[in-house]
Structure 1
Amino acid sequence: MKMRRKDREVTEIKELMKIIEQCKICRIAMQDQDGLYLVPVNFGYLYINNQLVLYFHSAKEGRKINALKENSEICFEMDCEHSLITGDVACQYGYSFKSIIGNGRVAFVHDVEEKKIAMFELMKHQTGQNFSFDENMVDCVAVLKIIVHQFTGKDHH
């Protein structure tokens, strides 16, 4: 992914991970027979061996599940640190933020142990707390992961 404004691009992996850590909602864009579909989801993540994986959970049925079964390729976006930039005239106004944009492939997680890890990472990211999950708890939801192909970061301050 190429970024037009190189002066705003974040390239250091430590800084990219800081942005991801601050973001609590990830928007996932997909396509089905009815067209484009965008949904916000809470997420957790792991970054291991230069591979970013995002985890989220869902009801076991619905448009999102059907769309991802049809076409697992997605793009995603998350953002944080929002602040109004003011000026003397309208054209000087703007908005500061940090963001991550990327694409990848969604895979349904069926392995019980991986589902437990995914839910642990999701809850740790969202709450800062460690939770444990048993098989019955993770069986109640669909657990999905985004295997990220590529992503970029932006800091507009």
Structure 2
Amino acid sequence: MAAAWILISHAAVTWAMVGLIWTIQVVHYPLFAYVKSGFRQYHEQHMHRITFVVGPLMLAELAGSVYLWLHPPAGTDARLWLAALLLLGIAWVDTGLFSVPQHGRLESGGFDVAAHRGLMISNLVRTLAWTARGLLIAWLVVRWASALQSPVSGA
């Protein structure tokens, strides 16, 4: 029962991140270009507030991903959980190496077209990685559920 709870919770957290990253990519970051006066304060508040949303989700997703790779549920393959973990790694590395520096430029210097463009491109990489990861996790949940429905041999 605990394994089922971990798997379903993990899928929910992953899809929360997928929805959030698409909202950021399609709605929130493009709107940065329309904030004229007070951009630095706006951006500072964005960073402060978004951290309280994404921080716990990202940490929960990482913990669940490692656990499920080490303890793959019935009907799933550890290699696919490793692939899901690697997609998460792509999102995290992109965040640290590309998105965070662009946010730093925007916060310290105000709105900058090049920094904004860099942030949009970097976030697209994260959006694609999280989307692929979400689809993989959904498929793994289906595989797990199918394994639960399969008759046990020798029973």
**Shared fold by TM > 0.5?**
no
Greater relative contact order, per chain length (Cα 8 Å cut-off, separation 6+) = 2
More strand by share: 1
More helix by share: 2
Scaled by the length of structure 2, what TM-score is found?
Answer: 0.24
